[in-house]
């Protein structure tokens, strides 16, 4: 019997664990380690952030599901990977710390034959001075953030209804932030909701992005087929923003946020300030911060992880035999 340990129960970890169990059956053990008791469908947070979906519509508890599927589950946070084992332990293992209330803080060591690291991106709010979720700015990167964003957006809508002009800023909160597509969708959702409430003339929405051209979305653009025409996504994105009455600032790296003010530098070196009443800015991402430790307890961080904390991968997604990896 082999043991496969999956770190993280997000979109990739949960999918990997589900398929591994389905394919490996009872002959092998699949273990999931993840700090939250929930799986959350992150893409739907753009709906939670405008009040169209509730928190519990985009998440479910993992424990029951994993029990039914025969997957061993630990509500814990992995803190270190020991791929060569240790002096006391021949086999590779992962050290984790429980996050569930009954065992909170207790350490657990789990051996593995195969390890899947699916811990996703850590939201690096500290990467931009003043980019503080819930205080200066909002995010829709997690369901609880999106709930909070919606609470604050409603206050903006109320003010606009009372004829107070409101400025909304949506986009990327760092020159290296990604996930522009999610923020773009959220900008359109907010504009749509303002129109539904007939307050669009009181709300000025601006899309601020680090993209070189609109519609890059971190994937070097694309082409869109619409009404029989194939158009570059740059034109598509620009025309959609115009249609929704949204202005834009591109090639902008946000480097500082203060209450109601965002400071950004554009690619040509010019520096600017933009005021806002409500801002939803995506932070930069780092890895989950798991340590990599060698057999003698030495630090082997550089072997497993990049300086930004993400795991080293070959970034070649073509199918291969396991031995070829
Ligand atoms: C609002 C929004 C909308 C989006 N829409 C789309 C879309 O339409 N299409 C698209 O392709 N992508 C979209 N994305 C991006 C997509 O959500 C991410 O690419 C995806 O969630 C990444 O999956 P993941 O499993 O790698 O990470 P995550 O889904 O973030 O999961 C990471 C998991 O690891 C766990 N974890 C963290 N640290 C540890 C640790 N130390 N030990 C163990 N577990 C840990 C977390 O709790 C979580 O369960 C969107 C993102 C956002 C924010």
User: Which token pair is 307?
Assistant: 């300086």
- Mark out the alpha helices in 25-61 (DSSP H runs): 45-48
- Strand-pairing partners, residue 308, are none
* Shortest-distance atom of ligand 1 to CA 96: 42
Q: Measured from the CB, is residue 45 less than 6 Å from ligand 1?
A: yes
Distance 10 CA to ligand 1 centre (A): 5
Residues 39, 80: contact at Cβ < 8 Å? Answer: no
Would you state the pLDDT for residue 273?
Answer: 98
User: Which token pair is 233?
Assistant: 């996504």
Sorted by sequence, the CB contacts under 8 Å of residue 39 that are 6+ apart come out as: 9, 10, 14, 59, 60, 61, 62, 65
Protein residue with its CA nearest to atom 13 in ligand 1: 43
Full DSSP string of 203-245: EEEEEE---SSTT-TTTT--EEEETTEEEEHHHHHHHHHHHTT
Q: Measured from the CB, is residue 118 less than 6 Å from ligand 1?
A: yes
Residue of 117, 120, 123, 51 whose CA lies nearest to 83: 117
Question: CA 255, 158, 47, 64 torsion: positive or negative?
Answer: positive
Residues 304, 81: contact at Cβ < 8 Å? Answer: yes
User: Mean pLDDT over all residues of the chain?
Assistant: 96
- By the 10 Å C-beta count (0-12 exposed, 13-18 middle, 19+ buried), 105 is classed as exposed
Residues 147, 163: contact at Cβ < 8 Å? Answer: no
Mutation probe of ligand 1 site: the residue of 5, 7, 11 with most atoms within 8 A of C-beta: 11
Task: Write out pLDDT tens, residues 285-297.
Answer: 999 999 999 999 9
* Shortest-distance atom of ligand 1 to CA 35: 47
| Cα 93 to Cα 97, 99, 113, 291, distances in angstroms | 13, 19, 9, 12
Distance 13 CA to ligand 1 centre (A): 9
Band (324; pLDDT cuts 50, 70, 90): confident
Task: Write out pLDDT tens, residues 53-65.
Answer: 999 999 999 999 9
Residues 152, 50: contact at Cβ < 8 Å? Answer: no
Would you state the pLDDT for residue 315?
Answer: 82
* Shortest-distance atom of ligand 1 to CA 121: 30
| 73 φ, ψ (degrees, to nearest 5) | -125, 135
Residues 64, 38: contact at Cβ < 8 Å? Answer: no
Residues 152, 292: contact at Cβ < 8 Å? Answer: no
Residue 38: left (phi > 0), alpha (psi -120 to 50), or beta? beta
Domains and CATH numbers, the chain: 3-120+287-324 (3.50.50.100), 124-285 (3.50.50.100)
Distance 11 CA to ligand 1 centre (A): 6
- By the 10 Å C-beta count (0-12 exposed, 13-18 middle, 19+ buried), 11 is classed as middle
Q: Taking residues 108-132, report their average pLDDT.
A: 96
Task: Write out pLDDT tens, residues 265-275.
Answer: 999 999 999 99
Please give the distance of CA 22 from its chain centroid, rounded to a whole number: 27
Residues 130, 136: contact at Cβ < 8 Å? Answer: yes
* Shortest-distance atom of ligand 1 to CA 289: 41
Distance 87 CA to ligand 1 centre (A): 35
Band (120; pLDDT cuts 50, 70, 90): very high
- pLDDT at residue 321 greater than cutoff 90: no
Task: Write out pLDDT tens, residues 23-82.
Answer: 999 999 999 999 999 999 999 999 999 999 999 999 999 999 999 999 999 999 999 999
Protein residue with its CA nearest to atom 9 in ligand 1: 43
- pLDDT at residue 323 greater than cutoff 90: no
Task: Write out pLDDT tens, residues 150-164.
Answer: 999 999 999 999 999
Distance 169 CA to ligand 1 centre (A): 23
* Shortest-distance atom of ligand 1 to CA 119: 34
Residue of 195, 196, 34 whose CA lies nearest to 110: 34
Q: Measured from the CB, is residue 94 less than 6 Å from ligand 1?
A: no
The more confidently predicted of residues 218 and 197 is 197
Distance 264 CA to ligand 1 centre (A): 27
Q: How far apart are CA 223 and CA 219, in angstroms?
A: 11
Residue found under tokens 């005021």: 275
Q: Measured from the CB, is residue 287 less than 6 Å from ligand 1?
A: no
Classify 159 as helix, strand or coil.
helix
pTM (2 d.p.): 0.94
């Amino acid at each position: 019997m082999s043991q496969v340990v999956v770190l993280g129960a997000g979109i990739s970890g949960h999918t990997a664990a589900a398929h591994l169990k389905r394919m490996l059956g009872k002959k092998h053990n699949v273990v999931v380690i993840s700090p939250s008791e929930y799986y959350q469908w992150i893409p739907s947070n753009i709906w939670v952030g405008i009040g169209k979906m509730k928190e519990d519509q985009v998440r479910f508890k993992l424990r029951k599901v994993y029990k039914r599927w025969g997957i061993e589950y630990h509500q814990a946070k992995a803190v270190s990977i020991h791929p060569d084992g240790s002096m006391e332990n021949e086999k590779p293992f992962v050290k984790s710390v429980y996050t569930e209330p009954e065992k909170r803080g207790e350490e657990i060591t789990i051996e593995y034959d195969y390890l899947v690291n699916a811990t996703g991106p850590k939201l690096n709010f500290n990467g931009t001075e003043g980019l503080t979720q819930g205080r200066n700015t909002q995010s829709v990167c997690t369901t609880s953030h999106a709930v909070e964003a919606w609470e604050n957006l409603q206050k903006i809508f109320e003010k606009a209804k009372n004829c107070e002009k409101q400025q909304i800023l949506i986009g990327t909160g760092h020159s290296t932030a990604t996930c522009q597509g999610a923020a773009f969708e959220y900008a359109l959702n907010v504009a749509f909701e303002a129109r539904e409430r007939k307050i669009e003339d009181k709300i000025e929405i601006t899309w601020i992005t680090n993209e070189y051209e609109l519609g890059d979305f971190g994937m070097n653009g694309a082409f869109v087929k619409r009404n029989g025409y194939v158009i570059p996504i740059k034109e598509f994105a620009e025309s959609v923003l115009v249609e929704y009455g949204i202005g834009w600032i591109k090639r902008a790296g946000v480097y500082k946020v203060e209450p109601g003010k965002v400071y950004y530098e554009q690619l040509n070196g010019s520096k600017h300030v933009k005021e806002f009443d409500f801002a939803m800015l995506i932070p930069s991402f780092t890895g989950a911060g798991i340590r990599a430790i060698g057999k003698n307890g030495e630090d082997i961080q550089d072997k497993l992880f990049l300086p930004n904390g993400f795991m080293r991968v070959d970034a070649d997604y073509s199918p291969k035999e396991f031995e070829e990896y």
